[in-house]
Structure 1
Amino acid sequence: MAIIWTEDLSTGVSQIDEQHKELFKRVNDLIAACSKGKGREEIVKVMDFLGEYVVMHFGAEEKYMQDNDFPGYRAHKEQHDGFVTEFNEVKRKMEQNGPTVDLVVKINHFLIDWLINHIKKTDKVLGAFLKNKI
Structure 2
Amino acid sequence: MAWRESYEIGVEEIDCQHRQLLVKLNEFFDACSNQQGREKIEETLKFLKDYTIEHFGSEEGLMNGIHFPELADHQKEHAEFVKTVLELEEQVKAKGVSVLTTIKLNRTLTDWLLNHINKCDRLIGEYMAQRKLQA
**Normalised TM-score (structure 1):** 0.94
Q: Distance in 1 between matches of 2:38 and 2:126?
A: 39
Offset of residue 100 of structure 1: 0.7
RMSD value over aligned CA atoms?
1.0
Task: Show structure 1 runs of 5+ residues with no match.
Answer: none
Residue 29 of structure 2: aligned partner = 31
Q: CA deviation at 1:120?
A: 1.6
How far residue 102 of structure 1 moved from its aligned partner, in angstroms, is 1.6
Alignment of 1:1-134 (within 5 A): 3-131=1-129, 132-134=132-134
Q: Deviations over 1:51-92 (max 9, x none)?
A: 111111010000001111111111111110111111111111
SS of 1:118's partner is: helix
Q: More deviation in 109-118 or 11-20?
A: 109-118
Q: Secondary structure at the match of 2:18?
A: helix
Unpaired segments ≥5 residues, structure 2: none
Q: Distance in 1 between matches of 2:57 and 2:72?
A: 13
CA distance in 1, matches of 2:52, 2:71: 17
Q: Secondary structure at the match of 1:96?
A: helix
Deviates further, 86-95 or 58-67:
86-95
Runs (4 or more) in structure 1 with deviation over 3 Å come to none
2-structure distance, mates of 1:84, 1:114: 11
- Structure-2-length-normalised TM-score: 0.93
Aligned-pair CA distance for 1:130: 2.2
AA of the residue aligned to 2:122? K
Percent identity over the alignment is 36
